[in-house]
Amino acid sequence: AQSVTQPDIHITVSEGASLELRCNYSYGATPYLFWYVQSPGQGLQLLLKYFSGDTLVQGIKGFEAEFKRSQSSFNLRKPSVHWSDAAEYFCAVARTGGSYIPTFGRGTSLIVHP
């Protein structure tokens, strides 16, 4: 079975600073990988996804993520954080082929200081 670890429960950054949120997965082959964002009081919105091909994936709102097979990681990055990026971020993994049942990490809460 697949699993996801987000080692950071909270991350605090200053507005304008760069951001990296960590995600490690466990799966026997190359999985489908996702990052979702949850703003306060909202449902989850897809930021980006990786299925195959280029390991650097561009998403919405200026986010990108890099798939590193050797490290089983899919870290989310943004070069300059805006106050509106304050939210909960979830990494998710799904098996390739077969049933589409994503497994979510526990989430990282991003706090942005002015």
Residues that bind other proteins (CB under 8 A): 6, 9, 32, 34, 36, 41-46, 49, 51, 90, 94, 99-107
What is the rounded CA–CA span in Å between residue 44 and residue 10?
Answer: 18
Q: How far is the CB of 68 from other proteins (least distance, A)?
A: 21
Comparison of 17 and 111: residue with beta carbon closer to other proteins? 111
Helix count and strand count (H, E) for the chain: 0, 12
**Shortest Cβ 114–other proteins spacing (Å):** 25
CB count, 10 Å around CB of 91? Answer: 29
Shortest separation between residue 32's beta carbon and other proteins, angstroms: 7
Question: Measured in whole angstroms, how far is the alpha carbon of residue 16 from the centre of its chain?
Answer: 19
CB of 47 to other proteins, least distance (A): 11
CB neighbours of 114 closer than 8 A, spacing ≥ 6?
A: 14, 15, 83
- Angle CA(32)–CA(76)–CA(2) in degrees, nearest 5? 35
Looking at the Cβ atoms of 40 and 114, the one nearer to other proteins is 40
Nearer to other proteins, 15 or 102 (CB): 102
Pick the closer one to other proteins by CB: 13 or 48.
48
